[in-house]
Amino acid sequence: MTSFPDAFLWGAATSAYQIEGSPDADGRGRSVWDSFVERPGAVEGGGDARIACDSYRRWQDDIDILSELGIKAYRFSLAWSRIMPDGRGRANPHGLDHYDRMIDELRRRGIEPIVTLNHWDMPEALLADGGWIGRGSVDAFVEYAVAASDRLGDRVDWWITQNEPWIIQLLGYQLGLHAPGIRDLRGAVTAGHHVLLAHGKAVDAMRSSTSGRIGAALNLLPCVPATASAEDAAAAWGSDGYVNRWFLDPLLRDGYPDDMRAHWERATGAPLDDVIRPGDEAAIAGRSDFLGINFYTHRVMAAAEPGPDRPFPWQVVGSTGEVERTDEGTEIVPDALRDLLIRVHRDYPGVPLMITENGAISGDSPTHDGQVHDVRRTRYLRAHVAAMAEALEAGVPLVGYTHWSLLDNFEWALGYRPRFGLVYVDFRTGERIIKDSARDYARIVRDGGLAAPERARGPQVDSLGAFG
């Protein structure tokens, strides 16, 4: 029997834009994603999130499912544009009322709310100042965070300020593949810095209205060399700086790593002194009560010459040989999760860790019996739970796991094709069907771990790997 602490938070996760729908309800303002999905070709299949899982109206159904499965925690996000429709100045009481009711019901059912403030749905009005490129975004986020914590902070013990700053920076502002669809290398590093600065300043501002623990969630990708060559080892270390250390070091140490700063300054052709201003790093550091880790896969790296479409001297090449993969081609590497947790604990000791996302795309649909027999997701989940158990045995202070995702949902630019959910959603009718993987996960939650140890399965590249 694998052993997890009695207080371990076994949960599931969603985000507001991906499940809520109802974009015009109760005074919600437009978000950057509302405009982005209207661009021809921006979303696979041309879909949008006007309905999604209809969870703004059916949130009680979703909590019923959590309760039926015995899940102990629910990580969800507040829709920023529901609470600050104009980006600044006026908090919308109807949006706050909605989340107030949700949190009260979760508490009534004994389910711990884990609240994310920014899961990528910045109010569109803030694009007038450049979105996250504009420094005014920091103050706007602080206003929003204070409005949320003033209203909800007495009942929320876990807050996540920012979800995946690297993805905001990379896909939103460097490659333009996510909202707001900007392609600007220097703008991207500026946006990423402002996301972190907003975290630090929001934490300070929230302290007076909540005693909850506050952190950020980073999507961490272990970077491994493709060969034993010194060149590929340097590429892997550089990629680690780009994806991981550029965010870990300022949050959990005292500033950005020098080697990656040099890479950014060479790639953008100018120093970053006007971006990272005096006092900024001190305002970010030391403001994380815990670290959320979103883990899906690793990056296999090789040295490469920089060029017009490659700002840094490395490239993702993927594993060679036969490798287990998700339906999206993502390499499945649960051993890498164990090693990542041990590495983060070693390099940044004393910081509690929470797996805030982990999951797989598997397109299983209902069969003749009306059920979804998603054997591969069950195997994936069990292998990653086993990896977490091994990390705990190695002394890692792991406090929780929220599987991505509770529901099949709107998967951003990939539309509705990829299915991550423990629960199948028929997007025509809104019907929810609890998958076999969810039933198995419920047993893991009930038992506090796996009934029998399972070895993590070896070599799974994230579809994002090609963009790095």
Q: Which residues are known catalytic residues? A: 164, 357
Q: Are 285 and 211 in contact (CB under 8 A)?
A: no
Contacts of 198 (CB under 8 A, 6+ apart): 118, 137, 138, 141, 142, 161, 162
Q: Are 334 and 273 in contact (CB under 8 A)?
A: no
Give the type of residue at 17.
Answer: Y
List phi, psi (to 5°) of 121. Answer: -100, 55
Peptide bond into 405 cis (omega under 30): yes
Instruction: Report DSSP letters for 331-357, one per residue.
Output: B--HHHHHHHHHHHHHHSTT--EEEEE
Name which of 379, 381, 398 is nearest 390 in CA terms. Answer: 398
Give the type of residue at 446.
Answer: R
Contacts of 275 (CB under 8 A, 6+ apart): 186, 189, 190, 193
CA dihedral 368, 431, 374, 297 (to 10 degrees): 150
Number of other residues whose CB lies within 10 A of the CB of residue 42: 20
The number of angstroms, rounded, from the C-alpha of 56 to the middle of its chain's C-alpha atoms is 20
Instruction: Specify the 3-state DSSP secondary structure of 181.
Output: coil
Please name the residue that has the structure tokens 């390499």: 331
Residues in the chain: 468
Angle at 128 between CA 126 and CA 130, to 5 degrees: 80
Helices (H), 115-154: 136-152
Q: What span, in angstroms and rounded, lies between the C-alpha atoms of 363 and 204?
A: 43
Give the type of residue at 207.
Answer: R
Q: What span, in angstroms and rounded, lies between the C-alpha atoms of 218 and 244?
A: 8
